[in-house]
Amino acid sequence: MFKKYDFTQKFPNQTLKAGECIFQEGDKGEFAYIIDEGEVEISTTSVNNERIILNILKTGDLFGELALVDGSPRSASAYAKTNVALTIVTSEQVKTRIEDADPILKLLLMVVMKYFRSETGRLRSGKEVLDQLTLENTKKDYEDKISHAIDLIRLESELRNAFDRNELIPFYQPIIDLKTNLIVGFEVLLRWFSPTKGNVSPGIFIPLAESTSLIIPIGEWLLKQGLKAIEEIKNKTNYDIFLSINVAEKQISYADFLTSFKSRINASSVKPQQIKLEILERSLFEGENAFSLVNQCRDFGLPLVIDDFGTGYANLSYLKNFKFDTMKIDQSFVKDLENSDKDLIICRTLIDLSLGLNMTTVAEGIENKLQLDILRSLGCNYGQGYFFSPALPLEKAIDLIQKQEINRL
Ligand code: C2E
Ligand code: CA
Ligand code: CA
């Protein structure tokens, strides 16, 4: 009964005899199958080595597609229950379609996949019996996941409307020179005040904007607002400050990114040196043209900041290959700095590393005086965090410069 069928030789349509194995749990998934005729049994083995039948599939059913979609090994085995005729679907056929699919569709697909996989795993562990209660819980779990995906779809359309209705507002978090205690710049952090949802975290809506490309018009609008803000600050306070703007991977890999940024900056009174681009380490890893684009930005005079360094791949070759001006020390290394020797060593090493490479350092997430004192003693150049101020609307940020309250700390 357990002879395994060799599909690689015979394709695209095949007939199998009852009992023949189509694939086994743990196999690499190379094909998906459509049943043209006959029945296929999908099963898994419990921890006690018992075979658990998950499903009997019939003519017209598709199976084996899960492993093609996410590249993981087969989570169940498939046997011909009767003589069967199959149409074979290659991984290329599935993969290219998924790659081209709408991001929300991809998300839904992943949700469904996760559900299937966790169900097979649960049955295999043999810990749960498939009684009425389990079925109901499973159904609820599935519905919860689908409704989460639907919430995201809704949020996406609301985000589009929010942008049109001016519900997105740039906030400005001061960056302090740790030698002079003066505000020298601000990081622009986007806020979404929704009349129905309240304050939506950028941790939620930024990835959504990125996955739908809405981040491109949002990013351009943000730069426009940022340039106006620098001009207004200059007019009202006579300070020439810089703005640190977060740039998503989607933006860097967008062909017109630099042209558009250049022309907006050239049309203003702001110098390129006043707009710092904060780029996440992982964006460089994933973006295809990142290298040339990032260096072109720098050639134009835009300083580059490597954001959250050390939290991703901590790939030192980025520091070697890209010309960064500033390293941003992630708040995860700062938040326990006063209590943790390890954090202290990490911060010291990062500061020494950037000093040695002629870069400046900004520590983010400074929440108390102790953290500030330690960072200052380590030679960190700039600081940012709630100890100084959270991100503020422009008028309040201007007030803060006018008073330079920070000077008294
Ligand atoms: P990020 O670039 O790492 O930004 C710093 C985050 O730390 C901000 O969260 C800021 O409010 C928060 N923060 C600042 N000081 C402190 C502190 O003392 N303690 C703690 N615990 N947190 C502090 P926020 O505003 O929620 O932003 C989250 C992320 O969203 C940002 O992380 C950034 O990656 C992204 N983001 C925000 N605005 C934009 C944007 O306009 N464009 C893009 N591409 N991403 C943005
Ligand atoms: Ca940032
Ligand atoms: Ca950061």
Ligand 3 centroid – CA 398 distance (Å): 23
Nearest Cα neighbor of 187 from 176, 174, 205, 200 is 174
The structure's pTM equals 0.71
- The residue whose CA is least distant from atom 32 of ligand 1 is 203
| Domain-terminating residue out of 160, 179, 202 | 160
Together in a domain, 79 and 36: yes
Instruction: Pick from 189, 251, 276 the residue to mutate for probing ligand 1's pocket: most ligand atoms within 8 Å of its CB.
Output: 189
Q: Which domain holds residue 364?
A: 166-408
Sign of CA dihedral 284, 290, 296, 300: negative
- The residue whose CA is least distant from atom 42 of ligand 1 is 246
- The ligand that comes nearest to the alpha carbon of residue 283 is 1
CB-count exposure of residue 209 (10 Å: 0-12, 13-18, 19+): buried
Together in a domain, 215 and 313: yes
Together in a domain, 95 and 109: no
Give the chain's largest Cα–Cα span.
84
What kind and span of H or E run contains 141? helix 132-164
Together in a domain, 339 and 401: yes
Distance CA 176, CA 184 (A): 6
Distance CA 273, CA 271 (A): 5
pLDDT (tens digit, 0 to 9) for every residue of the chain, 409 residues total? 455 666 655 555 688 999 999 999 889 888 888 888 999 999 988 878 888 888 899 988 888 877 777 777 888 899 999 999 988 877 777 776 777 776 677 777 777 777 666 666 666 565 544 555 655 666 676 667 666 766 777 788 789 889 989 999 999 999 999 999 999 999 999 999 998 889 999 998 998 898 778 899 999 999 999 999 999 999 999 999 999 999 998 888 887 889 999 999 999 999 999 999 999 887 776 556 777 888 888 899 999 999 988 887 777 888 888 889 999 999 999 999 999 999 999 999 999 999 999 999 999 999 999 999 999 999 999 999 999 999 999 999 999 999 884 444 4
Atom of ligand 1 at shortest range from CA of 222: 41
- The residue whose CA is least distant from atom 21 of ligand 1 is 365
Together in a domain, 153 and 185: no
| Domain-terminating residue out of 66, 82, 100 | 100
Nearest Cα neighbor of 236 from 398, 54, 60 is 398
The one-letter amino acid code at 86 reads: L
Q: Which residues of 334-360 are buried (b: 16+ CB within 10 A; e: fewer)?
A: bbebbeeeebbebbbebbebbbeeebb
Question: CATH number of the domain that 276 lies in?
Answer: 3.20.20.450
- Cross-strand bridge partners of residue 169: 191
Together in a domain, 390 and 304: yes
| Domain-terminating residue out of 68, 83, 100 | 100
Together in a domain, 113 and 231: no
